Structure 1
């Protein structure tokens, strides 16, 4: 049976906080339960959350206790480690974060647990890695891994032999991951699950506009909008469909996490997933019509405040 949503991970960052440039409030508990019920019906791959996502884990736990979403695998991230964590003990901090996650989600086992930052792999001589390995040995998690931000961090993560899950940003303007060296490194680790985030680049690719586009980033909003509009007219896909289809077309990407805040939004995204990958020819046309993004476009951490925020 075809399961078009089987590569869709429900992003739950918005479940527990206002998130992204939209600033929209978190969904209610009833809305979260509706989202997770539909995610189970669609056979989505997982729900993705983190200790750092406000009330997200607890919102998922409340939905699960109400009978919604219990069959959906949960992926979470350890609270980002700090110098203070190192003083108290990295292994202690990791165990505490994991214990909190299990309690809030209402589970005895998590599908995958990630370090929120690649730098945490190195802290205290790899103490966090040791803690996650021990938790896996005790049956608390299926896989462990890390969220990375750039190809150098990816290379560092792939060098850890038993690491099994990596989340990274990827979209139509982020070509950093398509170089031969990155692709060779990925091909050498077929045992690692690769999940792409930021397919819509925090939503700005869905409606490229100067008001939300990072100042001075290249290509500019008008150029990206014109290229996406032309491709949408030629392929019959929406901007969202083009972004998702491009990510799904990458053979090295196992799944795509998309932030969701309503049942209707999940249904729409699932419909776009059902359209499948873009043909290779359309991917090449997209790459030819939209130049690779500059660092200050593909890395939201480098974005300056929006125009209205700085006035």
Structure 2
């Protein structure tokens, strides 16, 4: 698989990455086998967070991928702290918290550095300058190589794009949810990459029963599903292949992070990982035609 430079960083990533949140229950044989097989297929971007399973997901990724550390780009997230009773978590946006939290993530991930450390959320009321200072300090210390955001809030994304050295923004982006395109011009101008999540639209445009999705009615989703089925058949590719090709056809999107739970699901990506279909502009336009473009109603 051809690797692509992630934004203005020196990280080179395969266009299809693995979001590990779906791999629950710790370092089971099945989870470890999935991670090892992903590396064999050519996937090198792995995304986790200290929030997932109260750190157990990071621990699982660290155990499984430590022997392959030099072959992967390891990304995790920070900003949420579990309460002591485990009932929920609180937003902890501060320089001091980020600097403290990274050491726990490094230990769980069984590594001396994190390739991409992402702020897991963010609001416009956060001490943004202070948070940026925290990330920059970690870069200088060598604990992280680069930092980014995991956010869908345009007002937050604009502030970090203007003030910081973020190399990427992870956000939901797919055929049904094109809301992020409002910030794409800003990110393209700064050479900040988009890491897409949710490209497969929760299966609604593949084999799951049609249902409402965000502001779209089930009827609108059904019409979009028929368009996907028709175009995929005419191009001779699978529906998930088409949906991933659609997301990655936008030049600002460098990675589509996909969640899988089993080897069977992972192996379904094999063809796409080995040779991703290149979607033409005409095909992209045809897919989008007639699908109502949503807009963010908050945090503009």
Q: Give the TM-score, by structure 2 length.
A: 0.81
Deviation (angstroms), 1:290: 3.0
Partners of 1:226 and 1:208 lie apart in 2 by 13
Deviation (angstroms), 1:246: 0.2
Q: Give the TM-score, by structure 1 length.
A: 0.79
Deviation (angstroms), 1:289: 4.2
Deviation (angstroms), 1:208: 4.9
Which structure 2 residues correspond to residues 212-291 of structure 1 after superposition, within 5 A? 212-214=211-213, 217-218=216-217, 220-273=220-273, 274-291=275-292
Partner of 2:159: 156
Partners of 1:84 and 1:242 lie apart in 2 by 36
Alpha carbons of 1:8 and 1:149: their partners in 2 closer, same or farther (altered >3 Å)?
A: same
List 4+ stretches of structure 1 deviating above 6 A.
Answer: 81-84
Partner of 1:177: 180
Partners of 1:186 and 1:250 lie apart in 2 by 12
Deviation (angstroms), 1:216: 7.0
Q: Is the 8 A contact 2:175 2:246 kept in 1?
A: yes
Partner of 1:30: 29
Alpha carbons of 1:8 and 1:249: their partners in 2 closer, same or farther (altered >3 Å)?
A: same
5+ residue gaps, structure 2, are 5-12, 82-88
Deviation (angstroms), 1:161: 3.3
Which structure 2 residues correspond to residues 1-311 of structure 1 after superposition, within 5 A? 2=2, 6-16=14-24, 26=25, 29-54=28-53, 55-64=56-65, 67=67, 71-80=71-80, 85=92, 90-119=94-123, 122-124=125-127, 126-179=129-182, 182-190=183-191, 192-210=192-210, 212-214=211-213, 217-218=216-217, 220-273=220-273, 274-293=275-294
Q: How many residues align?
A: 279
Partners of 1:280 and 1:102 lie apart in 2 by 42
Q: Is the 8 A contact 2:21 2:52 kept in 1?
A: yes
Partner of 2:8: none
CA-atom RMSD in angstroms = 2.9
Q: Is the 8 A contact 2:79 2:121 kept in 1?
A: no
1:114-154 Cα deviation digits (max 9, x unpaired): 000122x7523532222111111000111011112143333
Partners of 1:262 and 1:149 lie apart in 2 by 28
1:33-87 Cα deviation digits (max 9, x unpaired): 222222222332310000111121011122135x46663221000042687746x
Q: Is the 8 A contact 1:247 1:277 kept in 2?
A: no
Partners of 2:36 and 2:262 lie apart in 1 by 11
Deviation (angstroms), 1:202: 3.2
* SS of alignment partner, residue 172 of structure 1: coil
Partners of 2:76 and 2:113 lie apart in 1 by 11
Deviation (angstroms), 1:27: 7.4
Greater strand fraction, Structure 1 or Structure 2: 2
